[in-house]
A and B are shown apart, each in its own frame.
Chain A
Amino acid sequence: MVEFLFGYFSVVIVIVSVLVVTSRNPVHSVLWMLLLFFHIAGVYLLLNAEFLAATQVIVYAGAILVLFLFTIMLLDLREEIRLGPFTGGWPAALAIALAVLITVVAGIWGLKPAYIGPWGIKEIQTETHTKALGKVLFTEYLVPFEIASVVLLVAIVGAVVLAKKKLKT
């Protein structure tokens, strides 16, 4: 059952990701992305990560996608601007893409996790995922957590600098 569900989610994720990139209409793109986010949340659920699944739906599907839709509406894209590709040579691009694919598959093919950290699936099932995550995040991983807050601060300041500063010419 789990394998079947995982297979379903992964196939849909791949197909929908392609549709996000290839859709002509940006609104369709965003809606495909909504579907994508829900399926990723499904994968998280399969991994016993219910907190991540909920955050995925609330933050990505809820907040970020609505933001995307609003941006598209405000930009009022009537007609798609069509440009030729900036760089030629798709055979070379295809060759590199295939090489990367082969490398990734080769890496994952024989992958047997030799060590399982202190938080295996059993520990998480008894402790519950949210509690485990909170415990680890605010004790052992406190430093990365605090660094992440500085990263977010820089992102906010950067957005203000690039979007709001008056142009002087």
Chain B
Amino acid sequence: MDWSSFLPLLPEIVFTLMGLLVMTLELLIRRKETIAILTIVSIGVTAYFIPQSLGRAFNGMFVSDTFSVFFKYIFFLNLLLTVLISLKYLRIERSEFGEYYSLLIFSTLGMMIMASAGDLIVLYLGLELMALSTYVLAGFVRHSVRSNEAALKYFLLGAFSSGIVLFGISLIYALTGTTLIQELPHRLTQAEPVASVVALVFLVASFGFKVALVPFHVWTPDVYEGAPTSVTSFMSVGPKAAGFAALARVFIVGLTPLAAHWQWILAILAVATMAVGNILAIQQVNIKRMLAYSSIAHAGYAVLGLVAFSPNGLSSMLNYLLIYAFMNIGAFSVVIMMRSEGVTGESLEEYKGLARRYPFVSALMLLFMFSLTGIPPTAGFIGKFFIFKALVERGLVWLAVVAVIFSVISAYFYLRVVMYMYMYEPEMEIEGLSLSPALGLAVLIAAIGVIVIGVYPEPVLTVAANAGLYLP
């Protein structure tokens, strides 16, 4: 047996073993901090194997290329920051169970498989692994009715979307006789056009559900609001990025003959997504719900990179997703700091006058809000700028203009948080933030990411450009 053919799978194999180890040791080790550290160690060990894994395995069924490697680093960043912000938060929520960490690991494993899938069946199984773990995590605070509701809603709608993706895959298999993504283009050119477009529609619907594109976004606000905040932050970055990885690989590598169709379908969905996300965010008074609508809106911007259908467009999408991971988890970690015994920290009112008592935390929140709006010199500006540039290069000026207009609208609700913090007198007595070294470290990493990419974006842009070049 030639073991070198398993090399592209090595990071996934190592990560699975580490996940099983974390799951087993959790029974023996009482201190949850140790489990969290073990999780971080397993990220480090797996990350070491990732650069060596480039190649194809199992006849192209599993592909490790610069594109998937870039996504895997986004997933690891997401997992690392989530573990750091979870420790204290779970204790406050009284749900400090060790399975939390192994579920996070297996969910991330599912995302890695999705990013590397060269076959629609592998892609589906990765998606299911990611989603199943996330359903459980969303309902992790068992004594909270809202958390249960979030898990059940996410599960039911997710099950439907799984059915839809399978129907799409089966139609594609019927048309082409293969599920290998790289084989699809030359077989689809001779396939029956109506049926292939219908298959495309089903794939758009189910991937659109995972990344929360309008009109498949309805679950997002309820689930994001009800799930534990640390899980919300995990869900708003990881599964979304994985959904984009799947969209990019299936559409750009596999469904290239249908590009003319999916380009305008995605363009319409992007405009609708930006409109609904940004406009409905304005009237939210719960900060988690506001960030849920904001994450819908950001999916709208990111999908524009696919609409451009060029190497530059794809790398701008990758770049955007990385930046989004930093700024969104940063914002959620500040929300987690506000949660302490007896204080939900979710209502916007509670942010009034925060700057008086906690100038440093407020300054960080200001940074993340500026970045989410896209104000220079933060990273959010770089992300949006390169997406708009890719659109203009392809002659899609009108789309870029629409996206800029919605960006301006988004300033209203992001900067309202800043205004509440800096320009109001404190109304409620804030008991004190629930700070911990791990949480502080997470916010610091996020803040440094936002500032460094904002001021000196060159290295990230180069890596993203390399990753984006590979696909088309």
Contacts and interface: CB of A to CB of B under 8 A. Distances in A.
Interface of A: 103-104, 106-117, 140-144, 147-148, 150-151, 153-155, 157-158, 160-162, 165, 167-169
Contact of A158 (B61, B135, B176, B201): B135
Interface residues of B, number: 50
B97 A161 contact: yes
A144 B195 contact: no
Specify the main secondary structure of chain A where it touches its partner.
helix
A154 B95 contact: no
A147 B192 CA distance: 32
Contact of B103 (A110, A115, A157, A165): A157
12 contacts: A106-B198, A110-B192, A112-B192, A113-B174, A115-B175, A115-B177, A141-B121, A142-B58, A147-B129, A151-B128, A154-B103, A158-B132
Given A143-B9, A148-B125, A150-B16, A114 B192 contact: yes
Nearest to B58: A143
A134 to B, nearest CB: 17
Interface in B107-139: 109, 113, 119, 121-122, 125-126, 128-129, 132-133, 135-136, 139
Nearest to B179: A117
B357 interface: no
Given A103-B201, A144-B119, A111 B192 contact: yes
Interface string B138-159: 0110110000000100000000
A156 to B, nearest CB: 10
Interface string B191-203: 1101101110100
B283 interface: no
A167 B95 CA distance: 8
B30 interface: no
B129 A108 contact: no
Nearest to B177: A115
A157 B97 CA distance: 12
A143 B62 contact: yes
A138 to B, nearest CB: 12
A113 B99 CA distance: 46
B103 A117 contact: no
Contacts of A141: 121
A144 B102 CA distance: 21
A151 to B, nearest CB: 5
A114 B176 contact: yes
A21 B13 CA distance: 42
Interface string B227-271: 000000000000000000000000000000000000000000000
Nearest to A169: B143
A98 B62 CA distance: 38
A143 B61 contact: yes
A111 B171 contact: yes
B110 to A, nearest CB: 8
Contacts of A142: 58
A81 to B, nearest CB: 16
B67 interface: no
Contacts of B95: 168
A114 B103 contact: no
B57 interface: yes
A143 B167 CA distance: 22
B178 A162 contact: no
A2 to B, nearest CB: 19
Contacts of B113: 147
A148 B110 CA distance: 11
A143 B56 CA distance: 13
A160 B139 CA distance: 12
Given A106-B198, A143-B61, A147-B122, A113 B97 contact: no
A145 to B, nearest CB: 9
Contacts of A112: 192
A144 to B, nearest CB: 5
B190 A154 contact: no
B177 to A, nearest CB: 3
B81 interface: no
A51 to B, nearest CB: 18
A167 B142 contact: yes
B394 interface: no
A117 B177 contact: yes
A116 B178 CA distance: 8
A160 to B, nearest CB: 8
A167 B273 CA distance: 39
A155 B132 contact: yes
Given A107-B194, A151-B125, A158-B103, 18 more contacts: A106-B194, A107-B198, A107-B199, A110-B192, A111-B171, A114-B175, A114-B191, A115-B177, A117-B177, A142-B58, A143-B62, A144-B122, A147-B122, A150-B16, A154-B106, A154-B129, A157-B99, A161-B140
B308 interface: no
B194 A157 contact: no
A89 to B, nearest CB: 13
